[in-house]
Structure 1
């Protein structure tokens, strides 16, 4: 990647910084490469850094490095990073080398958290599919126009997600007739910040799954100020790919049919995949969650006790 031609946004900058810190710790890099990359990333980070955010370990070590750079520059132009001497470079590298042990710890923590989320989602969906005879599964991915991502930080994402979750909880508009839901927030190199959303409807109230996913996008686009994008997993074309292999896990699901239940569970597990470390969030607001589900034990569901007993809870 040519760092000098990148149009930076908070998401891609944090990913590139993480890759840079990893390369310093685990790969070969010349002193000149180090200074050139550091100069570019330091300058870009000046525009996006926020003391209010909690950053991933790699970014935190880069921030420590930034403080040393501030000290070395002492008011000089950023271009002077290219003139740092060997001792200054060694100090900066030593700061970043501390990430070596943290890298593995962070991966283990991510895997453990995703495995816990996986168990939580599996149990939640099992309760729903034990309780109801039929459900309508809708999957839609929500994100932002690439050319607008320069203006989207994690604080904007949190605001948009809060509005979306509130409308889901209140069953506003296209969310009327929901039996349950789950969501997962991720960060990708090209996609930027994006949300995987699973919506589970009462099929006696809602039938057209493609239309519902499209309406969810329309609402998301309204929430984001017309800069939203989406991927509809319930289109005929997309579903045909899975029908051919008897793996379709969206659309109408008959809960008495083991294969349909298994397919639905497998499709839902994409939201919580321990192998997707590359898409973990590098920046969060305090107490911010990246995954959640609805509640099963709510007052309007009859026979909850019997369902819990059948599920072994």
Structure 2
């Protein structure tokens, strides 16, 4: 694991925001110049040719390379002239960025349709299911040590455990996960949905805690989690008729629709700012289990 003091994901998120602000917002010239001087050198120090970057990040690299030429990043000072060139250059990539954003929205809408069909199939098959929602992330103190490679490794270990259906994943009948990168702080995190056989598992609060502690174990103490199963939080949603976690009964239409709504938060086409801006080759950012057939009992375990 890299222990550089540079927070890779935070830095990349700041570059993404700089590019979007320059292209899509009224230009504040001094602000752009200051941000270039603060971000350019540390970003170039972390640039990795083995990783894939979003169009905003690639556009930043192309635009700045055309300006600085053979200068070492540490020697570059973003004065008035260079900053003006950057503003002009980055504007040329507006259409490319919009095209990628639209492609991401389309993929999210496709994921959403398929995911909704998957969850509805599960809800139709079981008389009751236990829905557990938890966000997996990293502590503020350790986030600067976590690279995209680390995050991918941790998620691979988690998915393996989910597929094995042991310990806190016993009696799991469905699952889904979505990887995101915070817009404000660039924090890498996972939205996780776990769906258990309600005739076998009942305590959603306890399961959420077990899964969160398992994430801490996987990340060697770097991870933290947020559980949606605090009793007071659940009671607030229940008062407003919005509770979509915990025990969901097939014959209660409101519970079913609330559960669908809760699940679909994992695929929201309007969350463009929170998609991953750096990833490994072949890295998946969303996935869910497989609903094989209406006659599921007696089949081999469903894996991811």
TM score, norm. by length of structure 2: 0.90
State the Cα distance separating 1:204 from its structure 2 match.
2.2
Cα offset, 1:102, TM superposition: 2.1
Indicate if the aligned counterparts of 2:12 and 2:186 stay in contact, CA closer than 8 A.
no
Partner-residue secondary structure (3-state), 2:189 = strand
For 1:170, which of 164, 180, 186 is the aligned residue?
Answer: 164
Give the Cα–Cα distance (whole angstroms) in 2 for the partners of residues 76 and 17 of structure 1.
15
Instruction: Measure how far apart 1:39 and its partner are.
Output: 2.2
Question: Separation in 2 of the partners of 1:22 and 1:66?
Answer: 15
Taking the aligned partners of 2:91 and 2:12, their CA distance within structure 1 comes to 18
Q: In the TM superposition, what is the alpha-carbon distance from 1:43 to its structure 2 partner?
A: 1.3
Unpaired runs of 5+ in structure 2?
300-304
Matched residues in 2 for 1:269 and 1:124: separation? Answer: 11
More helix per residue: 1 or 2? Answer: 1
- The alpha-carbon distance between structure 1 residues 56 and 229, as it changes in their structure 2 partners (threshold 3 A), is same
Corresponding residue to 1:101 among 95, 101, 120:
95
Q: Provide the rounded CA distance (Å) in 1 between the counterparts of 2:286 and 2:73.
A: 43
Does residue 190 (structure 1) correspond to residue 185 (structure 2)? The answer is: yes
Q: Residue in 2 aligned with 1:311?
A: none
In structure 2, C-alpha distance between the alignment counterparts of 1:120 and 1:296, rounded to whole Å = 11
CA RMSD of aligned residues (A): 2.2
- Residue in 2 that maps onto 1:259: 254
**Secondary structure, in 3 states, of the residue corresponding to 2:268?**
coil
1:11 aligned residue: 9
Report the Cα distance in structure 2 between the residues aligned to 1:89 and 1:190, rounded to whole angstroms: 24
User: How many residues get paired?
Assistant: 293
> Cα offset for 1:221?
0.2
Deviation of 1:77 after TM superposition, in Å, equals: 4.2
Who is 2:77 aligned against?
81
Residue of structure 2 equivalent to 1:4: none
106, 110, 123: which one aligns with 2:104:
110
Matches of 2:74 and 2:108 in 1, distance apart? 43
Task: Give the equivalent residue in structure 2 for 1:157.
Answer: 151
* Corresponding residue SS for 1:200: strand
Q: Distance in 2 between matches of 1:183 and 1:257?
A: 25
Distance 1:255 1:94 in 2: 57
Counterparts of 1:62 and 1:134, CA distance in 2: 50
Shift of the 10–77 alpha-carbon distance from structure 1 to 2, 3 Å rule, reads closer
Q: 1:143 to 1:77 in 2, by over 3 A?
A: closer
CA distance in 2, matches of 1:70, 1:191: 27
Q: Distance in 2 between matches of 1:300 and 1:144?
A: 40
Any conservation in 1 of the 2:13–2:185 contact (CA below 8 Å)? no
